[in-house]
Chains A and B, each alone.
Chain A
C-alpha cells in the first residue's frame, strides 16, 4: 500500500484484491503468460508465417511485399490489439489517478470509446484497403537469381498456398510440422489458425456475455411476472442441447466466420443470464440500489452503473470458461466440416485431415492442431479456475 505515496491512498480495490489472490500462484501466471504469447502469435501471425518476404531487392529496387499484402482484416486485428492494450494501460492508470467514486463511469466511457474506435476503424479499413492479390512467387525469384537480399518470415509459407508436389509430407526440415492434403505448411496454418480460434473465442463470448447480462439484469431487477415468464424462456433455451442447436443452425445458414461467432454467442448466454439474474435478485433489495431508485436515476444507470459492477465477477469467470468452450465448439464444427471453408486456416479443419481420404492415419495432421486446441483450452480453463478461486472468498478458505 505504501508503494505509491505520490497519490492519494484509496485503499485496496476489489480488482487489486482479486489480482493479488490470483497472482499468488506462479503456475497460473505461467498459463496467463501462455495466453499472452498466443495473443502475440495470433495478432502478428502474418509476420511469423508468410510466403512474402519482409523486404526483397528486385532489379535494384527494394520492395516490401509483406506489408503491401496485409489485408483489411490484418489491419483491423492490429488496431483492435493496439486499442485493447491502450485500454488495459488506461485501466491501470485509472487505479492511480481517478477517484473511486467516478471510476466505473470513466471506465464505461473509455470502453465505449475503445469499442467505437475498433468498429469504425474496421469498417474504414474494409472500405478503403483494396483487396490485393500478390501471387508473385518470391522464393523462386531468389532461386532464379532475379532478386536478392530478401528477408522471409520464420515460416516462409502462406496459409493458402497449395503445392501438390509436397502434399501429405511428414515433418521435415522444410516443413517443420509437415504438410496437409494440398501441400500447405501445417505450422503456418496452425499459426494463422490461432487467429480464428481466438477471435471466435472472444467475439462469441462477448456476444453471449452481453446478451446474458442484459437479459439477466432485466429479469433479476424486475422480478415478479416478467422474471417468471422470462426464466421459462431461458429454461427453454437451456433444454435444447447446445451443440445440436448449433449444427441445426449451421445446416440452414451460410457458413462464415462471423456466422459461427454469432451462432455460438446466441446459443450460450443462458449461464450468464442465470448468474446475473440471481445476483440482481439479491442486490435489488439492498440499500444502495433503493437509494439509486429513489434518486430517480434512469433505469440504465441503476442497472449497469450501480448494480452490474457488483454482479460482474461471476460473469467474468464464466467468460473465461466460455472462451475455452467457444474455441472448443469452433474446433468441433470445423472438424465436422461445418466451420469456415478452407483455405481459411482452422485448427479443427487441420485435425479433420488427420485421417486421409484413403483411410491412412497422418499423425502430424492430428497431433499438432490437437495440441494447439488442447493447450489453448487448458490455459483458459486454468486461468478461469484460478480467477474463480480468487473471486470467491468461500472457496479461498476451502483451499
Chain B
C-alpha cells in the first residue's frame, strides 16, 4: 500500500510541473507587461528616464532574463510556497491563501459528504424501483437540478428567503459579526444557519450527477448473472441489493470524485461570491477583478495542487474498494 502511494506521489510530479508551466505560460503570454502596468501611464517623465526606470524595474523583477530562467526562478519560489506579495492586500499571497483555504475546504467537504450521503440511497432506490413512479419522477427532476444555474438559485434564495418578509437565513458570510462571543451551541447554530444556503447551492448539481451514476451502475449489476444466482440461493432482497449489487457499483462512484472535485472548486467561486463567503473562490474572484496577478497565479497553482491531492485520494480509495487492483502493479 505504502509503495503504491509513494509511486502515485512520484507520478504527481510531472503533472504538478505541467500545472505550474501552464499557469506561468498564461501569465507570460498575456498582452501588456507587469512593469508598464505598475508604472501607470507615467506622463511626467521624459523618454530616456522612463526607459531607465523600466530597465531598472525589469532587472528588479528579473524580467530581463530569458523566459526559461524566469520560469525556473518562479518555480523555485513556488516550491517554497512563495508566490510573492498581493498588490492589493500588501501581504504574502500564501498567507492570504492559508487564511481562505480552510473555509473553502470546509464548505466543499460538507457538500461532498452530503452529496454522497443523499445520492447513493437515492440512486439505489431509483434503480431498485426501476420504471416505477419514484424512478421516473427522479430522473426528470435530476436533469432539471443538473441544469439549474447555481448563480440563479443562489440569488433567488437570497432574494426570497433572506429578505424582510421571511428572514429565514442570514444572507452573507459564514457567521454573524459577533459570533465570537456566542456560547458554543449558539455559535454552532449560527454557523449552521449560515451554511445552509451555500451548501445547498453547492450540492444540488452533484446530487443529479451522482444519483444518475449510482442508478446506472446498480441497474447494470442488478441484471448481472451473479445477482440472479444470489436471488436463486434465496438471499433476502436487502442482502442481494447491498451485499452483492451495491458493492460492485461502488467503484465508478469513487472514480467520479475525480470529476466532481474540480467542478465543486469551480462552483465555489460563484457560490462564495454570491454569499460573500471569504474563501479561496472569493479570493480568486477578487484577484481577477483587481488584476492582482500574484494572487491569481498562486490561487490557480494551489487549486491545481489540491485537485491533484483529490485525484490521489480517489485513486487510493479506488484501490481499496476494488480488490482486483493490486498495489504492486504499475499504472
Contacts and interface: CB of A to CB of B under 8 A. Distances in A.
A338 B19 CA distance: 23
Given A243-B269, A382-B143, A370 B149 contact: yes
A373 B287 contact: no
B294 to A, nearest CB: 11
Interface residues of A, number: 46
A32 interface: no
A370 B157 CA distance: 13
Contacts of A369: 152
A361 B163 contact: yes
B219 interface: yes
B304 A332 contact: no
Contact of B151 (A244, A351, A363): A351
B15 A244 contact: no
Nearest to A321: B146
Given A241-B304, A247-B285, A366-B159, A374 B152 contact: yes
Interface stretch (A15-23, A81-89, A249-257): A249-257
A211 to B, nearest CB: 15
B101 interface: no
A250 B288 contact: yes
B267 interface: yes
Contact of B269 (A244, A355, A363): A244
B189 to A, nearest CB: 25
A251 B296 contact: yes
Interface in A144-187: none
B147 A378 contact: yes
Given A233-B18, A241-B304, A244-B299, A377 B26 contact: no
A338 B216 CA distance: 37
B143 A385 contact: yes
B304 A240 contact: yes
A361 B22 contact: no
Most chain B CB inside 10 Å of its own CB: which residue of A248, A254, A335, A398: A248
A240 B156 contact: no
A247 B148 contact: no
B83 to A, nearest CB: 13
Contacts of B265: 241, 243-244
B60 interface: no
Contact of A239 (B146, B149, B308): B308
B88 interface: no
Contacts of A367: 156
Contacts of A244: 262, 265-266, 269, 284, 299-300, 303-304
A245 interface: yes
B245 interface: no
Interface string A226-251: 00000011011001111111011111
B78 interface: no
A239 B19 contact: yes
Interface in B274-331: 284-285, 287-289, 291, 293, 296-297, 299-300, 303-304, 307-308, 311
B303 A241 contact: yes
Given A251-B293, A382-B143, A332 B149 contact: yes
A335 B270 contact: yes
A331 interface: yes
A240 B308 CA distance: 8
B155 interface: yes
Interface string B195-225: 0000000000000000000001001100100
B213 to A, nearest CB: 13
Interface string B139-183: 000011011110110011011100100000000000000000000
Contacts of A47: none
Contact of A241 (B31, B219, B220, B266): B266
B26 A248 contact: yes
Contacts of A252: 26-27, 29-30, 293, 296
SS class of chain B's interface: helix, strand, loop or mixed?
A: helix
B19 A240 contact: yes
A210 B285 CA distance: 30
Given A247-B285, A374-B149, A381-B146, A239 B270 contact: no
B14 interface: yes
Contact of B23 (A248, A351, A398): A248
Interface string A47-62: 0000000000000000
Contact of A374 (B147, B163, B219, B299): B147
A354 interface: yes
A370 B152 contact: yes
Contact of A370 (B18, B19, B144, B156): B156
Contacts of A366: 152, 155-156, 159
A15 B294 CA distance: 51
For B18, B160, B263, B267, the residue with the greatest tally of chain A CB atoms inside 10 Å of its CB is B18
A239 B143 contact: no
Contacts of A354: 155, 159
B293 A373 contact: no
Interface in A373-388: 373-374, 377-378, 381-382, 385
Contacts of B144: 378
Nearest to B268: A243
Interface in B21-40: 22-23, 26-27, 29-31
Contacts of B22: 236, 240, 245
Nearest to A373: B149
A8 to B, nearest CB: 40
A23 B23 CA distance: 45
B273 interface: yes
Contacts of B303: 240-241, 244
28 contacts: A236-B14, A239-B308, A240-B22, A240-B304, A241-B262, A241-B266, A242-B266, A243-B263, A244-B300, A247-B269, A247-B284, A248-B297, A250-B288, A251-B287, A251-B293, A252-B293, A332-B270, A335-B151, A336-B288, A355-B158, A355-B159, A363-B159, A366-B152, A370-B149, A374-B152, A378-B147, A381-B146, A398-B219
Given A242-B266, A243-B262, 4 more contacts: A232-B15, A236-B22, A245-B22, A398-B219
